[in-house]
Amino acid sequence: MELNDRVAVITGGSGGIGQALARAFLAEGARQVVLADLDEAAVQTAAADIGCVGRACDVTDEQQIVDLVEWTLAEHGPIDIFCSNAGAGGQGVLTDAPNDVWQTQWDLHVMSHVYAARAVLPSMIANGEGYLFNTASAAGLLAAMGSGPYSVTKAAAVKLAEFLSITHADDGIKVSVLCPQGVNTAMAPRSLGDGQTDGIIEADELAQVAVDTIRSERFHCLPHPEVEEYVRRKGDDVDRWLGGMQRLRRRTLEG
């Protein structure tokens, strides 16, 4: 899909990745970008700085997602691409991650994508085309040490994107899943010493990879290209991969 003259909605729009995607889409000639985020003042400021429009939206509330889609359709016409991008970190494994952390991560990283797809797919299918661009994480393809709720829900986000691609390809719907490692945003890891990232990239660099992925309609959007090889190795021998991750965890704990 080319982004010229397209209408895009981006949730998590006040953050670094959301803003970078908006700038990149507009640079490609997008007709309109709608930024959405929980904090209305922050998203309106971001939209004004970028030159698009902003809307307050809690993506864990399905009705608010429905309202966002209906408002965009009424004000700006058919939505060509919906970037379900909102997310947040979640620390802990099992004994030290309470149920409310697991539920919050599930609602934010999985159900928000479900709500977005439910809301926007009918109009996309009626138009014969559309693009779902869902943000997950390299942790969803691999793992993030010490972040059980984050890793598990991001893995579910990847699986949901696969399911959407399989189910709606014949409806003209394209799907990509964004799976970065470290990005220089508020969620960036504070240290590179745990071996869990191959370097922190800038959000604008990620956005250009996203544009290229959308143009070529690839499923995996991998701003850190090394991730593709890690996933291949995992698929070739999952027991060997698990052993390597167990050793990495031990080194992390010892360090």
- What are the CA-CA distances from residue 212 to residues 22, 221, 231, 245 (Å)? 14, 9, 21, 31
Residue 185, pLDDT > 90, answer no
Average pLDDT (210-218) is 98
Average predicted confidence (pLDDT) for the chain: 92
User: 148-168 vs 112-127: helix axis angle to the nearest 10?
Assistant: 20
More confident of the two residues 210 and 195: 210
Q: Within a domain: residue 232?
A: no
Residue 213, pLDDT > 70, answer yes
Phi then psi dihedrals of residue 221, to 5 deg: -110, 110
Question: Locate tokens 């709606």: which residue?
Answer: 168
Q: The whole model's pTM is what?
A: 0.93
Residue-range definition of the domain harbouring residue 31: 7-227
Question: Locate tokens 């390299």: which residue?
Answer: 138
Q: Within a domain: residue 252?
A: no
Instruction: Please check whether residue 157 is in contact with residue 136, taking contact to mean a CB–CB distance below 8 angstroms.
Output: yes
Q: Within a domain: residue 244?
A: no
**CATH code of 179's domain:** 3.40.50.720
Q: How many domains, in total, are found in the chain?
A: 1
Residues 71-102: pLDDT tens digits? Answer: 999 999 999 999 999 998 877 777 788 899 99
Q: Within a domain: residue 33?
A: yes
Instruction: Please check whether residue 132 is in contact with residue 175, taking contact to mean a CB–CB distance below 8 angstroms.
Output: yes
Question: Locate tokens 């509330």: which residue?
Answer: 61
Residue 190, pLDDT > 80, answer no
Which residues have C-beta within 8 Å of that of residue 208, sequence separation ≥ 6?
24
